[in-house]
Amino acid sequence: MRVYRRFREDREVVLWRGSCLPFLRGLPDESVDVTITSPPYCMGRPYEKGATLEDFIELHELVLAEVARVTKRGGAICWQVGYHVTKDRVVTPLDYEVHRIALTLRDLVLRNRIIWHFGHGLHSKHRFSGRHETILWYSRGDGYHFDLDAVRVPHKYPGKKASKGERRGQPSGNPLGKNPEDVWVLPNVRANHVEKTAHPCQFPVALAQRLIRALCPIGGRVMDPFAGAGSTAAAAILEGRGFIGAEVNVEYCELAEKRVRLAKSGKLRVRPLDAPIFAPHAGLAVARKPSSFRY
């Protein structure tokens, strides 16, 4: 599988090695159906250029304007972010800053603020441990694409029936399943995750898959201007959509290319979107049971 590095309408996959701004500026207007990305948080990590909140804001004022320009009318922009934390532990929710900038761009309409909850992560000593991040879903204008049936999940009470009204005695829920709601419980990609690579901040392929199924038409084009290890690219290929994206880090770009080839061949290992969340049995707990309680 060859991974192309220049945009052309008839190419299924385009992966640009370099900064996303030149890449975005070279794209035609309204050429992308859906953008799904997680940008650098600008906290001084080895793969980041910026180290301050101001750097994050400056980057987004440039990038979001270009992303909005290349998004089709009715298309979607999904921005997954967490928190900017300084060395003296000042916390800023980055979705606030993203939304503030988005409000200055014409035609961007916030449709959902989705909470991605995961059960494991670093333990904090000076504040409550973070176990969620946020996805902001914007549409460009009205008349946006949203296929709820493609992402329905099993009902909590599958046999439940209506107890009154015209539907009394009939199933009370949609036979295809229920709306997955705006809190998504998906394991993050850590050491034992089947998708773990050398990239330190992957999001799971399943997260991008749900967004693609719901927001991108069959045969449409998905974009990730901060492609990283290629999770969005892999999800797009698995879901039968085209992909274009950019990654400035050479190591991560090569990693993304490898995952694209594996996805194309059907050999990429991913955690299925509908896989149940592991819940350890209480009997397997290591902690010692207290012998008595005092009140």
DSSP 6: S
pLDDT of 278 higher than 80:
no
Instruction: Give 85-141 pLDDT, tens digit per residue.
Output: 998 999 999 999 999 999 999 899 999 999 999 877 778 888 898 889 999 999 999
Mean pLDDT over the full length of the chain: 88
For residues 263 and 165, give the distance between their C-alpha atoms in angstroms, rounded to a whole number: 49
For residues 228 and 222, give the distance between their C-alpha atoms in angstroms, rounded to a whole number: 15
Q: Which two tokens stand for residue 6?
A: 């220049």
CB 227 within 8 A of CB 245: yes
Which positions ≥6 away from 6 have C-beta within 8 Å?
A: 14, 16
Polymer length of the chain: 295
Which positions ≥6 away from 263 have C-beta within 8 Å?
A: 233, 234, 237, 238
pLDDT band of residue 289 (cuts 50, 70, 90) is low
Instruction: Give 163-189 pLDDT, tens digit per residue.
Output: 777 777 777 778 899 999 999 999 887
Which residue type does 218 have? I
